[in-house]
Amino acid sequence: MAQIFNTVRRIASGFGSLETLGDEIKRLKGTKVLIVTDPGIKSAGLVEIVAAILDRAKINYHFFTEVEPDPKIEVVFSSLAAAKNFGPDLIVGLGGGSSLDISKVTSVMMTNAGPIEKYFGMELVPEPGIPLILIPTTAGTGSEMTSICVLSDTENKVKKGIVSEHMFARMALLDPQLTLGLPPHITATTGMDALVHAIESFTGVRATIFTDTLNLQAIYLVARNLRKAYAHGENREARENMLNASCLAGMAFSNTQNGLDHALALAIGGKFHLPHGLLTAFILPWVMEYNLLADPEKFIQIARAFGETPDGLPEVEGARLSVRAIKSLLDDLGISYKLSDYGVPQEEIPAIAKAAIGAVRLISNNPRKVLEKEVIKLLEGNY
């Protein structure tokens, strides 16, 4: 079967790249722009900075600032109402993964009739949306490079994904300046999410030469920069490398999807509102330990990217060094990898395992076959 690689066609990166926003909007023939963002971005003063850039470019704009973390389906109703009311010809998503995801789905809901429920799943959106520019303000989700949007269905307590090639942005704008002020714990959890994307995509069954190339570089960059960005947030080089790592991993996993780690993170996150990056981070060592038998060579490459020396060891022992490296990183970032530390009652484990197994988009990329009873064992073993 042919393997398809699809991605965002244009990236502006580096310190100061935000200044090009006006020109980039004009290049896409945008004249009336809706900026989708969240209250945190507003209070951080970024709305004023973007407004000044658009004023200088003489572009008509409106801000929708009501995106919440872990966005519910209802947020799309509000953003879509704002968009229909204003009538933009281009949407800018500005923020963390939630704002970018909501801007993507708003773009396609402008040109595809509702209800939104009929688009949950893989490639069910028939028409392209209106042009989209995505500007991440955290280095982790890689959402600026993916065709995926994840929303919380609060009624059914699950997270649901829409995957559509029509949700690829027309461009991503990566300005590390926007990430300099992130506090250490957000730096740690979002940075770990980028690493989990790279590892799940790299070791997954849908990995290709193209995604491997991106993911290895992303793993290498996180291994060398996440501790530095956590320890000193104004380290410009570390911030730039982390933002680029997040982008590279996003570019890759949009084509492979993730694996068991993300399936568990969505299952736990649907019931207990823990930050996505924290969830994916604390699950990672268990899932790597479980998966490494399926493809030890890939895990040896991860170990090497973290500076471990698997030479001379039996293959599986070499692969296990990758888990040791991840645990050491989590220890340094102050992230526990015990499920019991996160307020998840042990009696919830069977329901979590069932929900995780149901996430076929993710489980089908996992390198090791996984059954519900094995997931229960994995969760109980790390309680």
User: Strand, coil or helix: what is 327?
Assistant: helix
CB of 276 to Fe ion, least distance (A): 6
Nearer to Fe ion, 101 or 308 (CB): 101
Nearer to Fe ion, 253 or 306 (CB): 253
Three-state SS letters, 289-321: HHHHHHCHHHHHHHHHHCCCCCCCCCHHHHHHH
Return the amino acid letter for 270: G
Nearer to Fe ion, 265 or 323 (CB): 265
Instruction: Identify which range of 7-15, 163-171, 186-194, 292-300 contacts Fe ion by CB under 5 A.
Output: 186-194
CB of 76 to Fe ion, least distance (A): 19
Half-sphere exposure in the Cβ direction for 67 (13 Å, CA): 29
CB of 142 to Fe ion, least distance (A): 8
In angstroms, the Cα distances linking 62 to 33, 36, 81, 102, 245 are: 6, 9, 13, 16, 31
Nearer to Fe ion, 65 or 152 (CB): 152
Nearer to Fe ion, 65 or 246 (CB): 246
In angstroms, the Cα distances linking 106 to 82, 93, 111, 159, 166 are: 10, 10, 9, 18, 11
Site for Fe ion in 74-113 (CB under 5 A): none
- Residue of 104, 246, 83 lying closest to 168 (CA atoms): 104
Nearer to Fe ion, 24 or 193 (CB): 193
How many residues line the site for Fe ion (CB under 5 A)?
Answer: 1
Q: How far apart are CA 321 and CA 6, in angstroms?
A: 33
CB of 194 to Fe ion, least distance (A): 8
CB of 360 to Fe ion, least distance (A): 17
Instruction: Identify which range of 26-34, 75-83, 190-198, 346-354 contacts Fe ion by CB under 5 A.
Output: 190-198
Residue 4 DSSP class: P
- For residue 61, what is the enclosing H or E element? strand 60-64
Instruction: Identify which range of 49-57, 185-193, 207-215, 324-332 contacts Fe ion by CB under 5 A.
Output: 185-193
Among 24, 38, 193, 308, binds Fe ion (CB under 5 A): 193
Interface residues toward Fe ion, by CB under 5 A = 193
